[in-house]
Amino acid sequence: MLVESFFLSTSITSVIFAEIVAIVEMDVPAPSGFQWINSKNGQVPPKAVNCGYDNGQLLYLGRALHSGDLLPGKVHPAHGCCFVPYNGGEHAVKEYEVLCVTDGGNYEWKGNTNGLVQSNAVQGGVTEEGEPLYVGRKQHDKALVSGKIQPSKLGLFVPFGGNEHFYRDYEVLIGNFNEGDSSEPNGNSRPPCPRPCKPSFPQKRC
């Protein structure tokens, strides 16, 4: 019994250690001039990127782990969570990261369609299989909501009202643009998938 308990304990410890190493080694970094900052329970750090509004309240750009994916979504301070879209539903996560502007960072939102993104689009996450997910937003039911642009699915998914909603047309978050930059269709790209990436915080739900 003691031997079995020892090996069981060792096995569990090894799995936990492997998961920690994988999380630390894999990351989707913010663009220059931005930083993903750990937060929780609806808290929003200074200089957080505002991504929209809902019922007169500001929403902020966040991302969180859910079912093996790192998903861009919306932080709703009044609800105490980051909401992310996944598999048809809106999922609330208590621990998340918020995109914040640091020295020299600037951003804007530019229109696009059908899963395409501009060359300087902000990557906010990645699927478990390694497909990049980009930050987008869309007007939905009198709210302006951010979510994930998934190139292979040809559109944007946003979390709202308990469900995941799909749009072919949307706005893309552009980081560190120059005033003379063109973000028209000739700047569109569908980048190859990088290695799988995850952030350095545990997955917890509301």
d(CA 125, CA 69): 8
Contacts of 69 (CB under 8 A, 6+ apart): 86, 125, 126, 127, 128, 133
Of all residues in the chain, the percent with pLDDT exceeding 90 is: 67
d(CA 179, CA 83): 32
Residue range 57-113, pLDDT digits in tens: 999 999 999 999 999 999 999 999 999 999 999 999 999 999 999 988 899 999 999
Number of structural domains found in the chain: 1
Flag whether 190 is in a domain. no
Residue range 135-175, pLDDT digits in tens: 999 999 999 999 999 999 999 999 999 999 999 999 999 99
DSSP annotation of 182 = -
Predicted pLDDT at 178? 58
Predicted pLDDT at 104? 83
Flag whether 4 is in a domain. no
Per-residue pLDDT band for 176 (boundaries 50, 70, 90) equals: confident
Quote the Cα angle for 28-129-135, to 5°. Answer: 45
Q: Tokens at residue 89, please?
A: 């539903």
d(CA 170, CA 136): 6
Which among 131, 180, 177, 150 has a CA at the least distance from the CA of 31? 177
Residue range 10-40, pLDDT digits in tens: 444 443 333 333 333 347 989 889 999 999 9
Predicted pLDDT at 17? 37
DSSP annotation of 185 = G
The rounded mean pLDDT for the chain is 81
Give the residue numbers spanning the domain of 91.
34-176
Flag whether 166 is in a domain. yes
Give counts: helices (H), strands (E), the chain.
Answer: 1, 16
Predicted pLDDT at 126? 96
Predicted pLDDT at 191? 45
Flag whether 112 is in a domain. yes
Question: In this structure, what is the dihedral angle of CA atoms 117, 176, 60, 99, given to the nearest 10 degrees?
Answer: 100
Flag whether 136 is in a domain. yes
DSSP annotation of 184 = S
